Structure 1
Amino acid sequence: MKRLMKMSFQQFIQYSSNYPRGLFYLYSLQWLLGLPVAFFLYYKLVDIAGMQGFLKGPITQWLNSPAIVVVVTLLAFGACCAYQYTLNYYFMSAHLQTTEPAPIFAALRLKKRRFYLLPASLMTLMLLLVVPYSPIGIGPALLKSSGFWMPFTTVIGLVLWIIIMAMLVYSSLRLLFSAYYYMAEDTTFVQAMRHSMYVSRIKLAQSMAIFIGVLLLYGIVLITLASIFSLPLILSEAMINKGLPMLAGITVSVILVAMFWVTAYAQIVLAQVIMQLAVYTGPAPKVRPCNKKHKMHIGIVTVISVVLLTAINSYVLTYSVYQPTTKIVAHRGYSQKALENTIPAMEKAKQAGANLVELDIQQTKDGKFIVYHDESLKRLAKDKQKIYKATERELVGTAIQKKSLKGTIPSFVSYLEAAKATHTNLLVEIKVHGHEKEGYVEDIVKILKKYNVANDYIVQSLDQSAIEAVKKADPTIKTSYLVKDEETDMYDIPTEFLGVKEKYVDATLQKKSHDAHKGVMVWTVEGEKDLQKFIEHDVYAVITNEVAKAVKLRDDYNKTKGFIERLWLIRQRL
């Protein structure tokens, strides 16, 4: 085995100068042509399915349309074709090195008779069968809502999944040489599979040991490089106690470029190992030094890649990872600067830096919706008129006042239009007075969808049935259940967030909410001391009337967080 590994590495080093050009064209073709098409089709599918993303709702929702299933299958087939083409390039490269003096780049000019429709089709089938039932990277909350037949949250389900994965790994090892035989020999893919089954039966243990060894070495190299390149960023942020998005962008770019080269060459080495294991038994080739010209080309490409990626990553990280972790929600708008639940209050909250603006909506006598908190006009208009007894026309425009702050009652639709115009995200609270018409929640969802904001806003309510009705109407809408007290069953309610009174929020509640994959929104937080406390506890959001103060406290606190800590917090919230 030692001799086999040595020969593989020597063969790789012998021809290492020939690979960069082929790799450049190979991956450029995939990234410049394949990725844009894949992303375009992906977002079209998301739009057709009415979802925020592949992991933002029940995955079974993708199966509602036959067209979606067909396009997803074609996307998977395209990805498998790209992978199979790359695999064939590696094997053909390894084969040409031992049979003829042709340049490695010739491996890209594959003959039509070597088209890989069958292997790519088999790979697509395996992908479609395995990935939907794989719990890797998918949280328990999503698994519960996905409609999967496989109970991954149970011991039996986990054991069954392990057995299936073990069978697939065993089958993959037995068919390990298929691609090489198919490319290097004048044979059909079925014959190549039979040949691989025969050879791997004899060399199964050796194949497994080498395969695991190469993967372990690959993992160790990646982890080592990532750790070394991350060290300057970690030390710098720790020393000055401040986030450094530009340095983080450089670090991530260097790591990505290093991962690209390590991954590409690891696959080449693996192809060499498989070839040596499959057929080649000749003497180890003499190693020639790498051409200086090729070294220079690799260096130039690497530097250019790092510079371009740094510009992109610095921007992306600044507006993603380095964004504040705790959201500031303006309670009924910026009610200290303008009258609550009015459009000016919403606009002032946006100007003050609020991430979300909370508003209260109620249904009127004629089935419309207005933005107002109380059941009657008594507190703000000195009128005993009940909201459910008046029409939208009678209520909208009514003069209201609280101390020196004056305003008028807006309709829900006019409020939405103003929010869209100012790019303001909303936390819509459904106030239930008990006289709503049948299907009123569905009407609210229709309005949100009409204005194309259903997946941008959060809907909350003290009424559990209202939350459940929202989820029934559209499972992709994010919701929050407002908790009056310490309810024992609140963690089982199908909602993404829990709105909890500040006096009930402690470490235990946060842990239980995290375990249930629910964010905590604390209401209504007042005073610098309490605001600071909940911001430092990294709750999902604080709902407050003191918007400007909360934003400043949050921003000052977040400046001290380093890159790794921010990634950890983001990971916890997934």
Structure 2
Amino acid sequence: MLVATVTLIGAGFYNWDYLRAVSIQQPISISHRGVSQKNGVQNSLTALNQTHRLKPDYVEMDVQLTKDHQFVVFHDFQLAPLTGHSGTPQSKTLAQLTNMTVREHKRTAPIASFDDYLALANQRHQKLLIEIKTPTTDNPGLVQKFLAKYQTNIETHDHMVQSLNWQVVEDVKKAAPQIQTGYILPFNFIGPPISHADFYAVEMTTVNRHFIQAAHQEKKAVFVWTPNDQQAVQRMMYFGADGVITDNLKAVEQAQNQHTKPHYADKLAFYVMGIG
């Protein structure tokens, strides 16, 4: 009985102190694929212009290597769903790709070269989170080609790089250690992986406070994707996320404004949702 009583008192005090002391993290805002609330065609120059006016900290976008070893701004590995053309970005030249039109959200826009997208972002003083996409696990020379052309520009303008390919992340950090580089995780089951990445980008449904605390102990930031409503953003803020990659920048702004000083009831609710 004595041991049980001491244990309950200790657990109760720990939880009370935890809830009393917990604070809400104010994460950076990152626009997913350069759009917010369907204000344009993903990864397009027109959407970048529109989204920049909403003042996100970063715009997340995607680059792929073309047949003629250039870089194009495109997310999917197949062209057909967005353009109606068969094939892949890797099977086409940059000139062929930039002559294609993307249709989305009842809007149209041409596919952009990364050179043009990067130039516009720099002109607007808009920082980018650049995802290097790889259709296969083995991509010889990809990182070397990318850094040879863009390393100085990325470092000068404080852009960041991320990839779902672990080897790409390791190669970027080895060749260009000053570039902030992230490893994308589609799920979290066992905690942060072993990596030289500066941050992890984790799908929100499997992230929790314990994962983020473990990453912070390794001095790595955590970005979560893609909370798109105010409540989801608030939960990620409570967990301690350093950034949110979202399709709805307004939800991030609302969550940040409302929860500068969270109520105890909110702490309790997010605490319960964050257990495990």
Q: For this structure pair, what is the TM-score category when the shorter chain's length is used for normalisation?
A: 0.7 to 0.9
1:351 partnered with 2:53 = yes
- Please give the per-residue CA displacement for 1:485-522, whole angstroms capped at 9, x wherever unaligned: 22647442001101111011112111111111111100
Instruction: Letter of the 2:200 partner, please give it.
Output: L
- Which of 68, 87, 90 matches 1:388? 90
Provide the residue aligned with 1:398 in structure 2.
100
Percent of pairs with identical residues: 26
Q: Which residue identity is paired with 2:101?
A: A
The offset of 1:404, in angstroms, is: 0.8
TM-score, with structure 2 as normaliser = 0.80
Question: CA 1:508–1:554 in 2, change beyond 3 Å: closer, same or farther?
Answer: same
Counterpart check, 1:505 vs 2:213: no
SS in 2 for 1:438: coil
More strand by share: 2
Q: Per the alignment, in what secondary structure is the counterpart of residue 357 of structure 1?
A: strand
CA root-mean-square deviation: 2.1
Confirm or deny that 1:548 pairs with 2:246. Answer: no
Structure 1 segment 166-245 matched on structure 2, within 5 A:
none
How far apart are residue 450 of structure 1 and its match? 4.0
Partner SS state of residue 155, structure 2: coil
Equivalent residues in 2 for 1:35-434 (5 A)?
A: 325-335=26-36, 336-434=38-136
Q: Which runs of 4+ in 1 moved over 6 A?
A: none
Question: C-alpha separation between the residues in 1 aligned to 2:148 and 2:156?
Answer: 9
**Aligned residue number for residue 446 of structure 1:** 148
C-alpha deviation, 1:479, in angstroms: 0.7
Q: How many residues align?
A: 237
Where does the alignment leave 5 or more consecutive residues of structure 2 unmatched?
1-24, 263-276
Residue 471 of structure 1 pairs with residue 169 of structure 2? no
Greater CA radius of gyration, 1 or 2? 1
Could you state the TM-score of these two structures normalised by the residue count of structure 1? 0.39
Q: C-alpha distance in 2, partners of 1:545/1:388?
A: 27
Q: Which residue of 1 aligns with 2:164?
A: 462
CA contact under 8 A between 1:375 and 1:386: conserved in structure 2? Answer: yes
The answer to which structure has the higher helix fraction is 1
> Residues of 2 paired with 1:555 and 1:452: CA distance?
31
C-alpha distance 413-435 of structure 1, shift in aligned 2 (>3 A): farther
Q: Secondary structure at the match of 2:112?
A: coil
Give the match's secondary structure for 1:453.
Answer: helix
For residues 549-569 of structure 1, the C-alpha deviation after alignment (integer angstroms, 9 at most, x for no partner) is: 2223224434x49xxxxxxxx
Kindly tell me: are residues 437 and 503 of structure 1, through their superposed partners in 2, closer, same or farther at Cα, counting changes over 3 Å?
closer
Q: Is the 8 A contact 1:327 1:542 kept in 2?
A: yes
Aligned-partner residue type, residue 325 of structure 1: Q
Query: Could you list the per-position Cα deviations for residues 210-252 of structure 1 after superposition, in whole angstroms to 9, with x for gaps in the alignment?
Result: xxxxxxxxxxxxxxxxxxxxxxxxxxxxxxxxxxxxxxxxxxx
Offset from partner CA, 1:119-145 (integer Å, 9 cap, x none): xxxxxxxxxxxxxxxxxxxxxxxxxxx
Mapped partners of 1:470, 1:510: distance in 2 = 23
Q: Which has the higher contact order (CA 8 A, sep 6+)?
A: 2
Aligned to 1:171: none
One-letter identity of the residue aligned with 1:328: S
